Structure 1
């Protein structure tokens, strides 16, 4: 290293100031002062400088260019004999330099590590990015700015239009003034000319200049040729014709003020007069508002559209169904048209020869076109709503006809047929008029197809008839004696399974558990209300399944206790009795089942240990398909495949449970088949049978008529109060408005069935005790209709839609969603209902939040049974009024008329989507009313007389006190 030192380092080594550490002097070496190569102090000062703490560039701070290197090199050259001392100093300096560099590098690395840590922390820290808020704020600011710009532009446009109109009116007035002045001058000139022509020659005066001719010649300017005369005559005739058109229209006196002051009926009659229509048509043609090549029908429609503007402005409440944006736009267009038209008509006079200016004609044409377009749009939407309403009415009438057309016991079908046909013909004519013949046929066919598809499908007689009953020789119940006792005997024969006597106590208990038939009185009552009534599996299926499960558990416990043979015999005997019950002795399978499942035979096999459950299940798998109804084939086939598979005792008991369930279904099918065969007789004798049973209960003291009397009294008070409010009795000829027994009963029944749930026992009269479940269901459906209707009505108002428009899809989905209740434990019901509306109709966030809170409030009130919200209360009251009006109809004609107007009435009430549901409620209440009044009419008459006598006594007491 020393051998490569530079000369500069050798020179610096000789300086006394360069030694940072004292060095040992070499006695053999010359002194530093005598060194021949030592530079002067000024030169040494230039080379030997203290290094700054700041780092130089790489070139300046390199090892080769450093001062220590130069000094070492110089010392090496100048003092090669003093190597030992110089080496130590250089080593120390080198070490110091290296340590400084290491310290700087360590500090730099520490700084870099801190920078990396801060960067990592900054990257890992969650970023609170508010880009969405900024974007939304920017969008709101943009919309606000655009709204301000639009408003300012609109204001500028209005101001410019106003200035233009003022300038136009000013120019027109100035032009009119100039024209009048010119006409006056022309008239004066014409008068002078005529006077001059009459005189013929001018009198001699001194004022005549000498240069003029003494005898002026008469010019021929006063004489007109035929063409000029014809033009003048035509001009005068056209002016007179225009004047008569304008005067005839002004003579009608049509104006917005007059239409507003006149009643709607009177002004409607006036606008339909032929004189008004023809006069308006002439003045519209005069202003160019009708095309020359239009047909007579098109011209008449154009005139009626024009005259409708008077009705829209004078009586908007009667003409427009609601006050929406489209209706407001139509009113504004009609107002602009009438103002422009009246302004142009008032300016027509003899001075301008009854000719409107081109500017006025253009303005009227533009305004009329805008009004006609708005009117056509409104009429198209309104007509579509009317078409939907009338199609719904047509379908409702068809549903009623499908219900009563198969009636053979009375004259119901004959009464309804004529009324339904007449009303359907009227509706069909109106629908064709609005929608056209082809479209009307398509809409009606599609609606009827959907309505009939929605009705529950009825299986044919061949599908529901058990195979075991096909060859039965049982006599038809219709051939029995047609008395109430005969009906009771038929019902008892249907329920004879409950009275089957068995030999053993266990089998008798098992037989009592498997009864699917309701009590006789309930059975007859349900048939009287619904002739298609069949015993369903759902109300009692869980009870029978629970009983079967309990029996199987007991059988499993019996096998564990060593009593398996006893349970096997009892189970086989019970199955044998059920299977033999559905076939008559003499049937081909009757003997097979009797021998195979004989009690003694099964007991002998069990005692000898020869009974096999595999053979028993195989036998049942071969027998059941021969006994079941055709529509049960799939169920029985699946069971047969499972029974034929081998298994242990636990699996065998589970197979027995499924076998018992299928046998219950077969037994139920047989009971329904027998019920269908006996239905005509039971329906005919149901009134007498129920009358007899009710009378027996009264005589035995099991029931009283206290609840019925209280219910009838409340209904009578409500009817009398309503009638008194409508037409007081003290007025002359008002007795015919007194409520009849039919009205009182209908009021009581509707009030009972359409009140908020639940139904209390104290509210239900004894005569309607069998209809408790039906009335409870109607109550729930009524509240559900009002709740869903209120939700849809609120959504339509918030979204500015026509309240008469039918949102059938949304209503149907809400109806099914709220079937099991209005609230859920997780609180998601309101969100689900809101999502149904949101999926079909887009809405802003504010509207969505408002609608969501309203839905939650409606559902909470419906779940609590208190309808406190004004919207729900109004809809519920309208629903009750509608149902009462249809139930109170006494004749078939009134019922058909009410049904044909049901869709329109519900649309005006805000419930256009619930025509089918309301129709079902009305139909159910009508059948209940008919059966109940026929069965208990005697007691209703007694109660009515007692209530009327009590009312007369109270009135007499009040009069006596007065």
Structure 2
């Protein structure tokens, strides 16, 4: 504000100072000292009634609000004038006029001060309104922030709507599940209620029948009174008392005497039942061994005695058809409480713990009730005791039925796996041409399958058992590689170059070498065979016969895909440079010669196809056209697109048809014509090599029986020749054999501390070999060729793969076993889907426990994290279990990645059990023992925690058996020599 405001403030300060300096001369309290003026005159207070009327609406003097420098009227100038005028009025004669003037001035001063304050407030309000209007009129600079806030609000509304929809779906799903559970419970209750009503009706029917026959029984008992009295004499003290009171009974009526005798008879029988059950000694079941207790409760007389005891207690009805089964269920409670580790495989599971608790509660109630039975209560429990006992008995039987159902499902899965394993063995050996293996295994496999089938039908029912077995066998056979017949794999328009009359292995291998040379599978030193030696190298004759002896369906495969792809890029670049430099005719001639020779060697001279190919791909004509620059690649590709479908095997039709379509496509633009032509040419060369490989595999399939029959002799001659020339020695074989022999001898010494060594206890060469083979395969670390015996040098790659499979089986089994224990699941329950996904993962990727492993990017996911995600998505688990399982998987994978020996207890135990299982199956000498070991493999592995990997373990053992068979047949003489040298 301006100067007036300053003047007002100065005036107000002056008034305040004047007012402060003045003293209040008026008092309304008679007890306070009276004020005096300058002349010493004392102003008396007014009378009380006048003071009360004058100050009626004013507070007492001592209760008034304290004055303020800004708001009190006593500090104002008018108040000072009024005060001065009031004092002067007391000393003047014109008091009334002066008092009125003072009051008027005071009132005017108050009004002016209020007007000034209101004016100040009005000015301030106007200033605030102007500032607000200016601020509102100014352009806003936070449009972006407002837009972001608006977008965030919209996104928030959408998210909330989405969450609401999801929650609504979850609520609906939960309600639906709850309704289904409720319906199932209601149906179950209705079923139980109907069963209970039926049982009550049956009991009522039996009671009525009993009442109808009661009189007849009494008559018969009266007729045979003498016989019954003789029997009563042998029943104890109660019957003796009845006999002693014979005179009294004679005085009674016949009916009264009969009632007394009947009561004595009933008490004696009931007492005999109680004493017979107590003599069994089940109360001290914990002091009896598991085997003895099992044999005890399996006896018929024990079951009959217990059944009578349960009927005595009212837990079973008389005449029940399932009385023996219910009695066995009751006796199982003693087995569980006395030996839970033997009866329950996973006694720490939630279901098992609940079953144990209910069994212990039932046995405790039974003992308490049995202790209260006496003659005064007719050896029968009271209604309250019977109700409590019946509830506990029903609760235990229900829990036992649920546990048995789960346990039977695990047993069914194990037996079905054993049935499928036997079927897989039969599918392997049934096509044996010699008939020896098939005849040995047929009888044992059939007997074991019949036994398993009967057990499965007993547990699961006939229909369900047949369905499960058919489904499992179908799945097992589907996973096995499909075997094509000769008609599918035989190339068209070709004839075998091998004579079927020549059955000697030497002649067969020589002719096979000629065929391999013909189709370009053997290295050639010609300069034009650069592309010929690129794709499919032929193994040596010894390797070929050895692989066929191990696998009669052995086929040559392209094992150098990565190397071929790299060489493909380099040759494409070289061909492109040659064409750009004007030397493309050399590549054209080389490709035409390669294709012509491979196709003509598959055909017989004189055939129409042979003539067409030889005339169309005349090398002189091709060379002349290439040098002249008039060779047409489009015509060459069209010709090959017409020829290849006529030469390929039937199972290659789709692949060759696709290639023919690509070869007949129109050439690309000028800038890409050369690249397209080179790409087509190399696709053509690869297709020709594939057809050549198919032709060679077809010929190998036809001569395989001859090679397999003579493989052992050929291997013996080849190995002996290498020993004579000094190419190999038996040093590594001797060291390998000696290590196994010393290990078995040390184990025998530990089992025989007295040193009594019998000849029968000495290890046989076959057992030494089986132990050495298992030690070689089921071990950790890298299997180097220097540690492989000379007799198994051809199986080095196979042994390396088997060792990797053993490590993989152990890791997967340990991971699944840990997850089951954390989730309180039965270790025998098979998580087949998780095991299959883990097997595929570890088969394709190495064991990496962290994403910073070598060869992985910054944000890459390690193999351990992928394995954990497989288990996490398949099972709901709490956060603590997730953290524990993840750390355990990291530890397992880090130990497998290091290549050192396992230090974790779980891995060590599982790996040792796997070795023991494989060794036991290899030590089976006869076909019946092998079949028996295979049929019990699933149950054994399920107890180990490897039930999901029964197929993988069986495949590994099967390969080991084939390797052992072929190696022993080829090198058995040298093993005997090593044994005879005192190793």
Q: CA deviation at 1:509?
A: 4.0
Q: CA deviation at 1:547?
A: 4.2
Check 1:455–1:473 CA distance in 2 against 1; reply closer, same or farther (3 A cut). closer
**Aligned partner of 1:920 among 955, 962, 973:** 955
Q: What does residue 827 of structure 2 align with?
A: 803
Check 1:933–1:501 CA distance in 2 against 1; reply closer, same or farther (3 A cut). closer
Conserved in 2, the CA contact under 8 Å of 1:409 and 1:684? no
Partner-residue secondary structure (3-state), 1:506: coil
Q: What does residue 84 of structure 1 align with?
A: none
Map of 1:402-481 to 2, 5 A cutoff?
A: 402-409=427-434, 411-469=436-494, 472=495, 474-476=497-499, 478-481=500-503
Q: CA deviation at 1:490?
A: 3.9
Q: What does residue 242 of structure 1 align with?
A: 270
Partner-residue secondary structure (3-state), 1:756: coil
Q: What does residue 172 of structure 1 align with?
A: none
Conserved in 2, the CA contact under 8 Å of 1:584 and 1:590? yes
Q: CA deviation at 1:108?
A: 7.4
Q: CA deviation at 1:542?
A: 3.8
Output the CA distance in 2 between the equivalents of 1:303 and 1:503: 82
1:646 aligns with 2:666: yes
**Aligned partner of 1:789 among 802, 810, 813:** 813
Map of 1:314-393 to 2, 5 A cutoff?
A: 314-324=338-348, 325-393=350-418
Q: What does residue 635 of structure 1 align with?
A: 655
Q: CA deviation at 1:858?
A: 0.9
Check 1:308–1:657 CA distance in 2 against 1; reply closer, same or farther (3 A cut). same
1:281 aligns with 2:342: no
**Aligned partner of 1:541 among 555, 561, 578:** 561
Q: CA deviation at 1:563?
A: 1.9
Conserved in 1, the CA contact under 8 Å of 2:522 and 2:533? no
Conserved in 2, the CA contact under 8 Å of 1:487 and 1:685? no
Q: CA deviation at 1:909?
A: 1.0
Output the CA distance in 2 between the equivalents of 1:635 and 1:391: 39
1:857 aligns with 2:891: yes
Conserved in 2, the CA contact under 8 Å of 1:516 and 1:540? no
Q: What does residue 911 of structure 1 align with?
A: 946
Output the CA distance in 2 between the equivalents of 1:946 and 1:764: 20
Q: TM-score, normalised by structure 2?
A: 0.74
Output the CA distance in 2 between the equivalents of 1:303 and 1:910: 32
Q: What does residue 253 of structure 2 align with?
A: 225
C-alpha RMSD over aligned residues? 3.5
Q: What does residue 608 of structure 2 align with?
A: 588
Output the CA distance in 2 between the equivalents of 1:831 and 1:547: 36
Conserved in 2, the CA contact under 8 Å of 1:713 and 1:947? no
**Aligned partner of 1:929 among 959, 964, 969:** 964
Conserved in 1, the CA contact under 8 Å of 2:267 and 2:379? yes
1:710 aligns with 2:735: yes
Partner-residue secondary structure (3-state), 1:468: coil
1:828 aligns with 2:856: no
1:679 aligns with 2:704: yes
Conserved in 2, the CA contact under 8 Å of 1:389 and 1:903? yes
Q: What does residue 583 of structure 2 align with?
A: 563
Partner-residue secondary structure (3-state), 1:284: helix
1:254 aligns with 2:281: yes
Check 1:558–1:855 CA distance in 2 against 1; reply closer, same or farther (3 A cut). same
Map of 1:494-893 to 2, 5 A cutoff?
A: 494-497=515-518, 505-537=526-558, 539-647=559-667, 648-727=673-752, 730-731=755-756, 734-819=758-843, 820-823=845-848, 825=856, 826-866=860-900, 867-893=902-928
Q: CA deviation at 1:449?
A: 1.0
Q: CA deviation at 1:348?
A: 2.4
Output the CA distance in 2 between the equivalents of 1:774 and 1:434: 41
Q: CA deviation at 1:645?
A: 2.4
Conserved in 2, the CA contact under 8 Å of 1:494 and 1:675? no
Check 1:104–1:928 CA distance in 2 against 1; reply closer, same or farther (3 A cut). same
Partner-residue secondary structure (3-state), 1:628: coil
Output the CA distance in 2 between the equivalents of 1:246 and 1:546: 88
Conserved in 1, the CA contact under 8 Å of 2:503 and 2:706? no
Partner-residue secondary structure (3-state), 1:355: coil
Output the CA distance in 2 between the equivalents of 1:237 and 1:43: 130
Check 1:499–1:424 CA distance in 2 against 1; reply closer, same or farther (3 A cut). closer
Output the CA distance in 2 between the equivalents of 1:515 and 1:739: 46
Q: CA deviation at 1:46?
A: 2.6
Q: What does residue 92 of structure 2 align with?
A: none
Q: What does residue 33 of structure 1 align with?
A: none
Of residues 372-381 and 223-232 in structure 1, the stretch that sits farther from structure 2 once superposed is 223-232
Conserved in 1, the CA contact under 8 Å of 2:312 and 2:380? no
Conserved in 1, the CA contact under 8 Å of 2:520 and 2:598? no
Q: CA deviation at 1:53?
A: 9.6
Check 1:656–1:340 CA distance in 2 against 1; reply closer, same or farther (3 A cut). same
Q: CA deviation at 1:875?
A: 0.6
Conserved in 2, the CA contact under 8 Å of 1:501 and 1:508? no
Conserved in 1, the CA contact under 8 Å of 2:418 and 2:936? yes
Q: CA deviation at 1:592?
A: 0.9
Gaps of 5+ in 2: 1-76, 79-99, 154-240, 668-672
- Deviating beyond 6 angstroms after TM superposition, the runs of 4 or more aligned structure 1 residues are 50-56, 96-99, 106-113, 498-504
Output the CA distance in 2 between the equivalents of 1:354 and 1:53: 109
Q: CA deviation at 1:665?
A: 1.0
Output the CA distance in 1 between the equivalents of 2:696 and 2:762: 48
Q: CA deviation at 1:497?
A: 3.4
Conserved in 1, the CA contact under 8 Å of 2:716 and 2:971? yes
Q: What does residue 44 of structure 2 align with?
A: none
Conserved in 1, the CA contact under 8 Å of 2:489 and 2:649? yes
Gaps of 5+ in 1: 1-16, 19-38, 67-95, 128-190, 199-219, 949-962
Check 1:265–1:362 CA distance in 2 against 1; reply closer, same or farther (3 A cut). same
Check 1:515–1:235 CA distance in 2 against 1; reply closer, same or farther (3 A cut). closer
Deviations 1:492-551 (A, max 9, x none): 2342238799999532444344544222221111111000011123x0334445445444
Q: What does residue 5 of structure 2 align with?
A: none
Output the CA distance in 1 between the equivalents of 2:739 and 2:654: 54
Output the CA distance in 1 between the equivalents of 2:112 and 2:689: 112
Conserved in 1, the CA contact under 8 Å of 2:419 and 2:449? yes
Q: Give the number of equivalent residue pairs.
A: 777
Output the CA distance in 2 between the equivalents of 1:840 and 1:375: 28
Map of 1:34-73 to 2, 5 A cutoff?
A: 42-43=103-104, 45-49=106-110, 61=118
Map of 1:152-163 to 2, 5 A cutoff?
A: none
Output the CA distance in 1 between the equivalents of 2:912 and 2:524: 61
